[in-house]
């Protein structure tokens, strides 16, 4: 169920939108003073925020579509994907990968119980972090490099009564990784993060730094296949000290039950040195 409103710089904000008792009004995003220094998305997003996220310079009169969507029992606010070509902040949008991965985590709770888990590139969605917490993970941290996405993430988590750690983490920022917890996690998860080729090396370096020294630290990615990016992903994983392994049967079956086999892919990695078998 989706409830949608619109914003246009030539018109007043859209009326509040209600879904299951939830209420949402338009707002203005805060600016981040830092300048972009690479092609990574989080830095492009900061640049756009400098210009005024909902301002004339960015949208040039285009409408912003703010949606409220119910996923299971969770009500989420996000920016509609209709704006994906006019607004570079994909983290402000809700993607199918996070829905799929959260259901996999719920279905395979035993694989995450007691584990220290961190999500990379969570965007505005608390679904994976909530699923990890409900699965009994010993620690749950949701991270993203976009402060606006994290602000919306906190709102979505609060309205659904969820509780977990939230941290800013840009994959190429060693200090961000250190603050999140170098070597402090057993599991890293991510969804729909494989679309900017230049960012993939940093993604795996960050994941490698976050995982503990255990031989079989798990990195699970659920994503929408785009171009021929999987080979590039696997090669970058190897350079960061990971080995692709067979996806656990539980994960595969959970994805199949969602009837997403033709639209979503799972990749599972472990520390190099394992035997390559699914665990």
pLDDT for residue 17 is more than 50: no
pTM equals 0.80
Using CB atoms within 10 A of its CB, is residue 260 exposed (0-12), middle (13-18) or buried (19+)? buried
Rounded to the nearest 10 degrees, the angle between the axes of helix 200-210 and helix 174-181 is: 30
For residues 45-70, average pLDDT: 54
Q: Using CA atoms, how far apart are residues 161 and 154, in angstroms rounded to an integer?
A: 10
Contact 237, 271 (CB under 8 A): no
Interior angle at CA 14, CA 70 and CA 20, nearest 5: 25
Q: Where is pLDDT greater, at 270 or 276?
A: 270
Q: Using CA atoms, how far apart are residues 268 and 216, in angstroms rounded to an integer?
A: 11
Q: Which residues contact 209 (CB under 8 A, 6 or more apart)?
A: 174, 177, 182, 183
For residue 74, name the pLDDT band (cuts at 50, 70, 90): very high
For residue 214, name the pLDDT band (cuts at 50, 70, 90): low
The pLDDT of residue 215 is 63
- Neighbour count for residue 61 (Cβ, 10 Å): 9
The pLDDT of residue 272 is 77
CA 158 from centroid of its chain's CA atoms: 17
Average pLDDT of the chain, as a whole number:
81
For residues 266-270, average pLDDT: 97
Contact 115, 136 (CB under 8 A): no
């Amino acid at each position: 169920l989706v409830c949608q409103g619109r914003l246009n710089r030539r018109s007043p904000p859209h009326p509040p939108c209600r879904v299951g008792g939830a209420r949402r009004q338009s707002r203005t995003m805060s600016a981040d003073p830092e300048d972009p220094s690479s092609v990574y998305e989080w830095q492009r997003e900061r640049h756009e925020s400098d210009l005024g996220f909902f301002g004339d310079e960015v949208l040039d009169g285009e409408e912003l579509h703010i949606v409220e969507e119910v996923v299971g029992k969770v009500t989420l606010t996000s920016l509609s994907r209709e704006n994906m070509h006019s607004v570079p902040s994909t983290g402000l949008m809700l993607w199918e990968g996070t829905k799929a991965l959260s259901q996999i985590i719920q279905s395979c709770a035993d694989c995450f119980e007691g584990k220290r888990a961190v999500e990379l590139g969570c965007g505005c969605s608390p679904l994976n972090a909530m699923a990890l917490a409900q699965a009994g993970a010993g620690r749950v941290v949701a991270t993203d490099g976009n402060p606006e996405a994290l602000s919306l993430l906190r709102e979505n988590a609060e309205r659904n009564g969820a509780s977990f750690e939230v941290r800013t983490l840009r994959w190429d920022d060693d200090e961000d990784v250190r603050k999140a917890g170098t070597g402090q996690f057993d599991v890293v998860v991510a969804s729909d993060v494989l679309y900017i080729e230049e960012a993939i090396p940093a993604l795996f370096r960050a994941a490698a730094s976050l995982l503990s020294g255990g031989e079989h630290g798990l990195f699970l990615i659920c994503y929408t296949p785009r171009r021929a990016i999987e080979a590039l992903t696997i090669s970058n994983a190897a350079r960061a000290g990971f080995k692709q392994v067979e996806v656990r049967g539980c994960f595969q079956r959970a994805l199949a039950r969602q009837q997403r086999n033709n639209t979503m892919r799972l990749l599972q990695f472990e520390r190099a040195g394992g035997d390559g078998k699914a665990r």
